[in-house]
């Protein structure tokens, strides 16, 4: 049975994120302390206390979430003695960088530097806003484009994210409200219209950072948000796809279709969380989409949350050894 490790993107961050891991696992403390050294600021204080109300600023959100992803991943590996490793990995938007770390393509220090710069540029050069529509891609795309907006994410057959100037998005939302009265849009909390043409300026500056970053592909497959399929095992191609990812839609449903087509039978989600309360009360960010993707495709998988100390311990108790898979072809 093939195993997929997944990592959520922005929106999964919360104050207190990782505190339970830091207090209970030496390895998690090492991950967080290392991140603080690399980033040049106290990621522990930011993530656990957010004293200056900065955690939701994308320049801080991105390294904070990546650190939490990797802390969860490393604790999971420690708890199960390295018995379970992914046959493929995927991440939603920012989460793609954690997927590259998990697969061994990118080292943790480099990933921190890359997403720190990515967040800074997206915050500095980003404009616009984003809304999620419970409408299929082919229906919403012409409506969005008629109002100078663009598709930013294809999450599910009936969930598409659109980005654009706030006043333009309001026109799209009004049109949908009038013509699809039961399809209410949800405005997202972002600093810009990510994964649309509004991010071109940020991407042009970001390219230099990607060009200076070393990628070392392994046998583990990593799914690309830009293509919807697997990354090629070519560093230049990986850099190019991460560059394009910044101003093209996240093809998350295509990523899941690709994984399902490769016969994935078990999915572990690492890091982040949604809902109220502390770390032990959070819900996984991507679980709902995984359930709906299964219904849409008819493919069945076992889903396991690994987003806090409680779920990591539960996941580790239930583990069995998984034999070496046949790797997906590129």
Residue from 36, 47, 93, 224 carrying the catalytic annotation: 93
What letter would DSSP give residue 91? E
Q: Which of 225, 227, 270, 232 is nearest to 72 (CA)?
A: 270
- What are 182's two structure tokens? 């039961």
Whether 47 is catalytic: no
The three-class DSSP label of residue 105 is coil
CA pair distance 25, 235, nearest whole angstrom: 34
Residues 6+ apart with CB under 8 A from 323: none
Radius of gyration of the chain from its Cα atoms, rounded to whole angstroms: 19
Residue from 69, 87, 92, 195 carrying the catalytic annotation: 195
CA pair distance 268, 306, nearest whole angstrom: 7
CA pair distance 249, 162, nearest whole angstrom: 9
Tally of CB atoms within 10 A around 150: 21
Within a 13 Å sphere around the CA of 302, how many CA atoms are in the beta-carbon half?
A: 9
Whether 147 is catalytic: no
Number of H helices, E strands in the chain: 13, 9
CA distances from 63 to 43, 49, 118, 121, 297 (A): 8, 15, 9, 13, 33
What letter would DSSP give residue 323? P
Residues annotated as catalytic are 93, 195
């Amino acid at each position: 049975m093939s195993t997929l490790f997944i990592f959520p993107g922005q929106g999964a961050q919360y104050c207190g994120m990782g505190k339970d891991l830091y207090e209970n696992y030496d390895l998690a403390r090492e991950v967080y302390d290392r991140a603080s050294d690399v980033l040049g600021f106290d990621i522990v204080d930011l993530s656990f206390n957010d004293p200056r109300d900065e955690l939701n600023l994308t320049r801080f959100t991105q390294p904070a979430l990546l650190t939490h992803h990797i802390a969860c991943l490393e604790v999971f590996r420690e708890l199960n003695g390295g018995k379970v490793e992914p046959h493929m990995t995927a991440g939603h938007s920012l989460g793609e960088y954690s997927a590259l770390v998990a697969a061994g393509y990118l080292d943790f220090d480099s990933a921190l530097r890359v997403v720190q710069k990515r967040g800074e540029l997206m915050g500095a050069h980003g404009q616009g806003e984003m809304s999620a529509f419970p409408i299929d891609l082919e229906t919403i795309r012409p409506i969005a484009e008629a109002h100078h907006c663009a598709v930013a994410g294809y999450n599910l057959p009936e969930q598409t994210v659109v980005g654009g100037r706030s006043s333009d998005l309001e026109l799209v939302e009004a049109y949908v409200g009038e013509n699809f009265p039961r399809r209410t849009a949800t405005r997202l909390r972002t600093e810009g219209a990510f994964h649309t043409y509004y991010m071109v300026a940020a991407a042009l500056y970001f390219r230099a950072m990607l060009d200076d970053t070393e990628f070392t592909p392994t046998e583990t497959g990593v799914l690309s948000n830009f293509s919807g399929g697997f990354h090629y095992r070519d560093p230049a191609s990986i850099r190019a796809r991460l560059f394009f990812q910044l101003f093209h839609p996240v093809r998350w449903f295509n990523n899941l279709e690709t994984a399902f087509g490769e016969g994935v039978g078990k999915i572990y989600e690492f890091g982040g969380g949604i809902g109220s309360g502390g770390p032990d009360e959070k819900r996984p960010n991507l679980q709902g989409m995984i359930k709906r993707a299964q219904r849409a495709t008819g493919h069945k998988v076992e889903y396991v949350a690994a987003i806090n100390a409680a779920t990591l311990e539960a996941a580790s108790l239930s583990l069995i050894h998984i034999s070496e898979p046949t790797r997906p072809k590129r």
